[in-house]
Structure 1
Amino acid sequence: MCSTNVKLLNLSHNWLVSIAPNSFIKFPYLRKLSLNNNLLYSIDSKLFDGLVSLKSLSLHKNQITHIADDVFSELSELRFLRLFNNKLFNLSENLFKALVKLKRLNLRNNNIALIPPYLFKDLKKLTYLDLRVNQIHSLNSRMFAGLKSLQNLRLHDNLLELISTGTFIKLTALTHLDLSGNLITKIESQAFSDSFNFSVLKLTLYWNFLCCSRAHYQNNLTYFGNVCTHDNKIVFYENIPLEDCA
């Protein structure tokens, strides 16, 4: 039987440990699938095959450690993907390749330490990316390649120590950047594109360990539209450039 009329399927808050491949093959018009709050530990190939109309997928609050790199291959209509509160630590570089219409991706509260280069390169429509509460210790521009529509990037409560030159150079549409709750001591000059409109960006830097000269602070942070640095460890060294601060 083909369940062509079903558009919403809610299987959340159960005791699901695994789901067989092709379990949703008879739901071609399904638009929203909720699998959150279960005990799933692996998302395997072909699990979502047939869900060609799916717009929203909720997988949060499971025990997921592994996601097959081709499991989202038929979800080209997906707009919202929720993977927060799992145990993910390794993401395949092609994991999100098919999600060309995705707008919001939430990976908060996992065990992710490393973002593969070009992981998000096909997510041209993405406006919101949540990577809070992970183990990410470094960033570079290749991680954010392709995110030309990204407006809101949340990175607080990771292990970042340095924001290096060019890190956010690809993110020309950014309006909200949250870097609070890290271990940041340095933000190097030219971390953003020269053409970036800093007046529209809200930059949050609470609870870090920034060290900079007063001149560097005034010249490199105060030109943001809204920069929040309270509850920080900022120390003003009158004649020491940021790059020389330990």
Structure 2
Amino acid sequence: MSVLLAALLQLAALQLSSALPFQQRGFWDFGEDIDVRDLMMTMMKDQEEGSAFEDVYPPETPTCPFGCTCHQKVVQCSDLGLIYVPPNIPPDTLLLDLQCNGITEIREGDFKGLTNLYALILRSNLITRVNPRAFLPLKRLQKLYISHNLLTSVPRNLPPSLVEMRIHDNRIRRVAAGTFNGLGNMHVIEMGRNPIHNSGFEPGAFTGLKLNYLRISEARLTGVPKDLPASLHELHLDHNEIQAIELEDLSRYKQLHRLGLGFNHILHIERGALSYLPNLRELHLDHNRLSAVPSGLANMKYLQVVYLHSNNITSVGVNDFCPVGFGMKKVFYNGISLFGNPIEFWEIQPATFRCVSDHMAVQLGNHKK
């Protein structure tokens, strides 16, 4: 482990940045930024636990692609103006960084022999095509970052070992049935900022996945996509064109802890639609067009955070958030935002927030500096 640690410390200053439209805290925190230090620490932990790697002996004569930096299983080739994946990548490589180049195509033999690769970073290139056989040698790949490219579809034959894939900021308009077949280890997919409509998800597109986290933000969705994995703990659909939440839209997602629907055009949430989310902890409905507090919040036992700011809510009822009595609410709220709505705070009865942990947890826009 000490040998790998030296390599990780050498690249610890490397960071990737990109603004997020949706700030996340707690639970699963997977945004666009790749903190390479965190990635390396995860890789070390997996190596210690024996869950990701087998020993691969280095060649007798160490090789390194021209212009790249190679140090103890980490190969860093970013910002070199490359138009192809370079040859002579050491076969014992665990982390391969090819971000910020001019690569246009991933060819069949580009990763030949890299059977122990753990993480592959291809973000911020010009990739339009991935050969269907390109990823076949990557028997132990767990993290694939191929965002900020020009792909029009999800690459085929992804490694079954894959745990996390970030493919946001491409040109994907369609996800075909069976795209993710055989990827039973996948937990995280970030695919926001693709020009995909609801009709772009074919029936069976997500069959076989047991995801914990899925983000389809800044797309062209007009409703909640159908048949997403029922295993989801987090679902983020912010910055879309969703206009309503129908009764059956959320019926599959009983394991959800966090639901992000901010920055849409939601006018109406059908009564009973939220009752399918018994484990929800955090609900983001800010920057929509709601005229009332959604029904059903008072019956959500574990709900702790509700963002309703910047809507058109004109009144708040005394039982909108809290049940009558205290028998049903298991945890108190620690955050309710209502500012940016056409309602005066003095019109809301104090008992409305009787199941809130602290008065500072309610944001009504009445705290003036």
Check whether TM > 0.5.
yes
Q: Given the two structures, how large is their TM-score scaled by the length of structure 2?
A: 0.55
- CA distance in 2 between counterparts of 1:59 and 1:213 reads 40
- CA distance in 1 between counterparts of 2:81 and 2:269 reads 55
Larger displacement relative to structure 2 (220-229 or 69-78): 220-229
- Note if contact 1:2-1:27 (Cα within 8 Å) is conserved in structure 2: no
Structure-to-structure mapping, 1:25-44, within 5 angstroms: 27-44=90-107
Deviation, structure 1 residue 45: 1.0
Match in the other structure for 2:134:
71
- Note if contact 2:177-2:204 (Cα within 8 Å) is conserved in structure 1: yes
Match in the other structure for 1:159:
220
- CA distance in 2 between counterparts of 1:128 and 1:80 reads 10
Match in the other structure for 1:190:
248
Residues 68 and 188 (structure 1 numbering): CA distance in 2 closer, same or farther, change over 3 Å? farther
Q: Is 1:49 equivalent to 2:109 in the alignment?
A: no
State the AA in 1 paired with 2:196. I
Residues 3 and 61 (structure 1 numbering): CA distance in 2 closer, same or farther, change over 3 Å? same
Structure-to-structure mapping, 1:1-246, within 5 angstroms: 3=62, 6-19=72-85, 23-24=87-88, 27-92=90-155, 94-96=156-158, 99-138=159-198, 139=201, 142-148=204-210, 150-163=211-224, 166-168=226-228, 171-192=229-250, 196-198=253-255, 200-212=256-268, 215-216=271-272, 219=275, 224-235=280-291
Match in the other structure for 2:27:
none
**SS of the residue 1:143 aligns to:** coil
Residues 233 and 48 (structure 1 numbering): CA distance in 2 closer, same or farther, change over 3 Å? same
State the AA in 2 paired with 1:125. N
Deviation, structure 1 residue 192: 4.8
The number of residues matched between the two structures is: 225
Q: What's the % identity of the aligned pairs?
A: 24
- Note if contact 2:245-2:269 (Cα within 8 Å) is conserved in structure 1: no
Quick check: which has more Rg, 1 or 2?
2
- Note if contact 1:140-1:167 (Cα within 8 Å) is conserved in structure 2: no
Greater share of helix residues, 1 or 2? 2
Deviation, structure 1 residue 234: 2.8
Specify which structure has the bigger relative contact order, considering alpha-carbon pairs within 8 angstroms and separated by 6 or more residues. 1
Deviation, structure 1 residue 88: 1.0
> Cα RMSD over matched residues?
2.6
1:43-71 Cα shifts (integer Å, max 9, x gaps): 11111111011001000011111111110
**SS of the residue 2:110 aligns to:** coil
- Note if contact 1:153-1:176 (Cα within 8 Å) is conserved in structure 2: yes
- CA distance in 2 between counterparts of 1:19 and 1:173 reads 36
Deviation, structure 1 residue 128: 1.1
Q: Given the two structures, how large is their TM-score scaled by the length of structure 1?
A: 0.81
- CA distance in 2 between counterparts of 1:220 and 1:56 reads 36
